[in-house]
Amino acid sequence: FFYLVRVGHPINYYLQFVTRFYIHFTAEQVVYMAIVGSFPFNSFLSGVLSCVGTAVLAVCLRIQVNKENKEFKDLPPERAFADFVLCNMVLHLVIMNFLG
Amino acid sequence: MGGPIDLPPPPPPPPPSFSLKTLKLKTKQKELLLRVTILCLVYILAFITRLFSVLRYESMIHEFDPYFNYRTTLYLTKNGFYDFWNWFDSESWYPLGRIIGGTLYPGLMVTAAFIYWTLKFLSFAVHIREVCVLTAPFFASNTTIVAYFFGKELWDSGAGLVAAALIAICPGYISRSVAGSYDNEGVAIFALLLTFYLFVKAVNTGSLAWSLASAFGYFYMVSAWGGYVFIINLIPLYVLVLLITGRYSMRLYVAYNCMYVLGMLLAMQIQFVGFQHVQSGEHMAAMGVFFLLQAYNPSIPHRFFLKLKHMEFCWHMRSSCHNSFYFLGWVKYLLSDTKLFQAFLRTTLTITIGVGGLAFGVGMASGYISPWTGRFYSLLDPTYAKDHIPIIASVSEHQPTAWSSFMFDFHILLFLFPAGLYFCFKRLSDTTIFIVMYGLTSMYFASVMVRLILVATPAVCLISAIAVSATIKNLTSLIRTKSKALHIGSSKGNMSSKASSKTSFDQSLPFGIKTASALLLGAFYLLSRYSLHCTWVTSEAYSSPSIVLAARGAHGDRVIFDDYREAYFWLRQNTPPDAKVMSWWDYGYQITAMGNRTVIVDNNTWNNTHIATVGRAMSSYEDEAYEIMRSLDVDYVLVVFGGVTGYSSDDINKFLWMVRIGGGVFPVIKEPDYLVNGEYRVDKEMRYDVLACVRRHSVSHNEYSSYGFRYKLSYYRFGELTTEYGKPPGYDRARGVEIGNKDVKLNYLEEAFTTSNWIVRIYKVKPPSNRW
């Protein structure tokens, strides 16, 4: 799920960095859980899924914003970004409820 | 002669008349008006057709399960959401109690409470029971609207209208959503169709907003019904099918990922579902497809099938500017050598698949990922429940479906379904593939379990609507072009050559105008028969509240047996508030809801051993049963007996299930002990001798006390009653025989109450006699 968008575009670097950071963060959480044990399982799950969720949403945003994708020609990037923000808000609300 | 030609003065405008033409609407607006009118009528129709039982009897809750839902909704409206979410109920499953907050699907109750609070806010003072009774028809009407939009997405708005009309009256759906049937399915089918529609819309548009909406729809479905497992397995299967048929697109990636992650998170908020989305085998397919989508390289199928060098070269060229995104593509950019990259590709793929398979295998073997539970496993292997889980096998709704049930519930839709499949295959798109898959899988499950005809109904209605709409459209356009051609041919006489060529061209089409109109009339006739059948089925078969029975009296007048409620209210008013009632698990919910007393077992059937204990008590002799009842602290025993009225689903007919379930846990109870020549009888040929010699009992016992507990409770004092003219006293009308032993004496219980038609009998357990 790394797609090389127009090189040099600043948002591309930001999103690439963000997704790579989230993958690293997820791996760290899994390792921590393996060491400490998974007692508050809901907290572990919410942590892992928040990373995965934001990464996935960021990737979706990049796909939608990229001008070379013919399927998303008609989608204005502002709308894509607004969707992204909305989904992230919902995601984090649910995560906060799930953390316990 | 040189001036301009004077036009004659324009004719005066025609006098206004009440016709649609005076509104001066354009065609598009006329069409919109027509569509809106049809939808409104369908909406009202769906609501009205479910009101038969309210009109005939009264506005009350039907059956067994809805009483539990009603009781919880009552609790929710009285005590608020927080208490409801954390509710521990000590009035059922005595002495174990039940964590209600964590073992129910709250969607239905929250919906009804929400409607109730909205109405209260608008100053409509309705009772919560009315809201509960009418929730299901209201949501059925909403389902028709969703069906319209789904049909519009699938085919065109005409198909949408037909789908809405078909699903409004289809008996398969009505059976579980009449007014009074306050059960999860009433709301769940609406949520199911909504989730599917929103997901299909998300796949078609690829926007995150629609995927978010479908995640919310999925959340609603998870909160409403256990059948959400169908959604979480059908959608990954659909994604797989799209991948295999080469219809992968980024819209699919966006839609599925967003829906899966958000949907899974939202679903885990429901206590009853908990962590099943990551731990249960039934949900693993979704996760597997999620990971598959991340690593999917859409040119892999090409590479497998066309191993040509220049194709690989083209793929190599394309991928640098192509829309195949994958983690490997990024790596490929880094390693600019093809051969090295392909080696890397192979190794990473094998490693990932290996690791994934290993993790899955370890999870299954260690029990961390639980296998498919009994209820769902019996869908894949229908013989499983019969051998291993008698409780599941005993429910009549879980039996395989007969063709007559299909015809009864679907009527003409049954043969319109293959026709619709044909049309779907003619115009294949992402959406039609989805509906074909939904239709086929749901039809398979509907044939395994009668209860699941409900899940197949929306698919069948939609596909049949496609068939109906496409056929009628073709026929009407044929008629229209034919008549237009004739009309043109007749009005322009000097163009006769052209007209004749046109008519000759039209005659080469398969139908003449007469055949087409005949076919059209035939189609309308079929549709009218369908609606007549549906109304008849609704009126006769699906509108009976099982708690109130009706029959025809001797003079043809209607006789109503309200014995159940009579007995429950007697319990409520004449027993101490902490009395415990033992009955078979069918009646548990009703006793707690209406009688307001503690029960030993109820319809939730979560503890098989507890139910087996009750079954054992019902199958043994009175003294053993008394010991079991003392250990359970039972004060009253409730028995349902249909011998006087001919009511055939009473406890004597359910007795063999009690034996089977009891025998499943306590091997001391063996089913052949209760049968004569393999048959179960209550008349003179009962097994006197075997019952007497299997158990050792002391000499002082009266010889009649050796009969089973169930028998004694049902037939106490029955021998003196004359039930039918011309038959001897003690004639059991439900079994059609005269009972064997008429002189039944009870040692440890006394009769407390028998309803006016002897349907429900309540006995009080006597305290142990004073030791002397």
Domain B561-691+705-765 indexed as CATH 1.20.1260.10: no
Residues of A in contact with B261 (CB under 8 A): 49, 52-53, 56-57, 91
B549 φ/ψ angles, rounded to the nearest 5 degrees: -105, 145
Q: What is the mean pLDDT of residues B659-667?
A: 82
For residue A73, the model assigns a pLDDT of 74
Q: Look at residue A38 and tell me whether its pLDDT is greater than 90.
A: no
Indicate yes or no: CB of B206 within 8 angstroms of CB of A56. Answer: no
Identify residues of A whose CB sits under 8 angstroms from chain B CBs: 1-4, 41-42, 45-46, 49, 52-53, 56-57, 59-61, 63-64, 68-72, 75, 79-80, 83-84, 86-87, 90-91, 94-95, 97-98
Nearest residue to B547 via CA among B53, B166, B99, B49: B53
Would you say residue B564 has pLDDT above 80? yes
Domain chopping of chain B, boundaries: 561-691+705-765
Flag if B250 and A71 touch (Cβ within 8 Å).
yes
pLDDT of residue B308: 37
Q: Give chain A positions within 8 Å (CB) of B329.
A: 2-4
Name the minimum distance, in Å, from the CA of B3 to any CA of chain A. Answer: 58
Tracing tokens 């209208």 back to the chain, one arrives at: B161
Tell me the C-alpha distance between B171 and B531, whole Å: 10
Q: Which candidate from A2, A49, A60 shows the least CB-CB separation from B208?
A: A60
Give the one of A2, A63, A70 whose C-beta lies nearest to B254's C-beta: A63
The whole-number pLDDT of residue B232 equals 92
Provide the shortest C-alpha distance from residue B263 to chain A (in Å): 10
Residue-wise over A37-60: b if at least 16 C-beta within 10 A, else e? eeeeebebbbbbbbbbbbbbbbbb
DSSP string, B297-338: -TTHHHHHH---HHHHHHHHHHHTTSS---HHHHHHHHS--H
Q: Is the pLDDT of residue B307 over 50?
A: no
Instruction: Find the closest chain B residue to A40 by CA distance.
Output: B275
Does B717 or A58 have the greater pLDDT score? Answer: A58
CB contact under 8 A, A45 and B268: yes
- Alpha-carbon distance of A22 to A77, in angstroms, equals 23
Which site among A61, A87, A89, A99 would you substitute to test the B interface, given the most B Cβ atoms closer than 10 Å to its Cβ?
A87
pLDDT tens, position by position, B358-383: 777 776 666 666 666 666 777 777 67
Provide the pLDDT confidence category of residue B285 given band limits of 50, 70 and 90. Answer: confident
Cα separation, B217 vs B11, in Å, equals: 60
Q: Which of B209, B278, B329 sits opposite A3 (nearest CB)?
A: B329
Confidence of residue B458 (pLDDT cuts 50, 70, 90): very high
Residue B661, pLDDT above cutoff 50: yes
- Lookup: tokens for B219: 């959340």
B255 in reach of chain A (CB within 8 A): no
Q: Which of B249, B254, B329 sits opposite A64 (nearest CB)?
A: B254
**Cβ atoms B137, B178 nearer than 8 A:** yes
Checking if the pLDDT of B691 tops 80, the result is no
CB–CB of B208 and A68 under 8 A? no
Q: List, in sequence order, every residue forming a beta bridge with B370; answer none if it has no partner.
A: B280
**What average pLDDT does the segment A11-25 reach?**
68
User: For residues B263 and B194, what is the distance between their CA atoms, to the nearest angstrom?
Assistant: 14
Least Cα separation, residue B228 to chain A (angstroms): 20
Query: What's the pLDDT tens digit per position in B87-97?
Result: 888 888 888 88
Chain B residues inside the 8 Å CB shell of A60: 208, 253-254, 257-258
Q: CA triplet B451, B456, B460: central angle to 5 degrees?
A: 145
Average pLDDT over residues B634-660: 83
The structure's pTM equals 0.82
| B262 to A53: CB separation less than 8 angstroms, yes or no | yes
Helix ranges (DSSP H) in B642-702: 655-665, 688-694
Residue B640 pairs in a beta bridge with B760
CB < 8 Å to B335, chain A: none
Q: Say whether B208 and A83 touch across the interface (CB within 8 A).
A: yes
Question: What pLDDT is attached to residue B716?
Answer: 74
Token pair listed for B594: 């209406």
Supply the mean pLDDT for chain B. Answer: 79
Answer yes or no: are the C-beta atoms of B543 and B53 closer than 8 Å.
yes
Q: Which residue of B has its CA nearest to A81?
A: B208
- In this prediction, residue A81 carries a pLDDT of 86
CA angle B599, B669, B587 (to 5 degrees): 25
Contact B251 A71 (CB under 8 A): yes
For residue B320, give the chain A residue with the closest CA: A4
B292 versus B409: the higher-pLDDT residue is B409
- Residue B332: the pLDDT is 54
For residue B764, the cross-strand partners are B636, B750
Examine the pLDDT at A4 and tell me if it is beyond 50.
no
Check CB contact under 8 Å for A49 and B261.
yes
Length of chain B measured in residues: 772
Smallest Cβ distance to A97: which of B250, B254, B269?
B269
The answer to whether residue B272 scores a pLDDT higher than 80 is yes
Q: Which carries the bigger pLDDT value, residue A22 or residue B151?
A: B151
Asked if residue B431 lies in contact with residue B204, where contact means CB atoms within 8 angstroms, the answer is yes
B 207-246 residues inside an 8 A Cβ radius of A: 207-209, 211-212, 215
Subunit contact A69:B250, Cβ cutoff 8 A: yes
Per-residue pLDDT tens over the stretch B723-768: 666 677 777 777 777 766 667 777 888 888 888 888 888 888 888 8
**Are the Cβ atoms of A3 and B206 closer than 8 angstroms?**
no
pLDDT of residue B19: 55
CB atoms within 10 A of CB B346: 10
What residues of chain A lie within 8 A of the CB of B206, using their CB?
64, 71-72, 75
Q: Is the pLDDT of residue B492 over 60?
A: no
Average confidence (pLDDT) over B307-312: 40
**B248 close contact with A: CB closer than 8 A:** no
User: Which pLDDT belongs to residue B57?
Assistant: 86
Coil, strand or helix at B599: strand
> Could you tell me the CA-to-CA distances from B676 to B434, B637, B691, B705 in Å, in that order?
54, 27, 11, 20
Q: Do the Cβ atoms of B713 and B763 come closer than 8 Å? A: yes
Whether residue B253 lies within 8 A of chain A, CB to CB, comes out as: yes
Q: Which residue of B has its CA nearest to A6?
A: B321
Set of chain A residues whose Cβ sits within 8 Å of the Cβ of B207: 64, 75, 79-80, 83
Residue to mutate among B85, B211, B250, with most A CBs inside 10 A, is B250
Tens-place pLDDT, residues B221-271:
999 998 899 999 999 999 999 988 888 888 888 899 899 999 999 998 888
DSSP strands (E only) in B471-552:
549-552
pLDDT tens, position by position, B35-52: 999 999 999 999 999 999
Distance CA B333, CA B605 (A): 59
B282-295 burial: b if 16+ Cβ within 10 Å, else e: bbbbbbebbebbbb
In chain A, the residue whose alpha carbon lies closest to the alpha carbon of B275 is: A42
With contacts defined as CB-CB under 8 Å, which chain A residues touch B253? Answer: 60, 63
Which one has a higher pLDDT value, B7 or A49? A49
Interface membership of B82 toward A (CB under 8 Å): no
Q: Tell me, what DSSP letter sits at residue B46?
A: H
Query: Is residue B464 scored above 80 in pLDDT?
Result: yes
| B333 reaches A (C-beta below 8 A) | yes
Comparing B504 with A67, which gets the higher pLDDT? A67
Over range B96-102, report the average pLDDT. Answer: 84
Res. A66: pLDDT tops 50: yes
Q: Give residue B367's region: left, alpha or beta (phi > 0; psi -120 to 50).
A: left
Kindly report, residue by residue over B72-81, the tens digit of the pLDDT: 999 999 998 8
Chain B contact set for A23 (CB, 8 A): none
pLDDT in tens, B505-541: 444 456 678 888 888 999 999 999 999 999 999 888 8
What phi, psi does B552 have (nearest 5°)? -95, 130
- Write out pLDDT tens, residues B698-716: 222 333 334 567 777 777 7
Of A72, A75, A91, the CB nearest to B262: A91
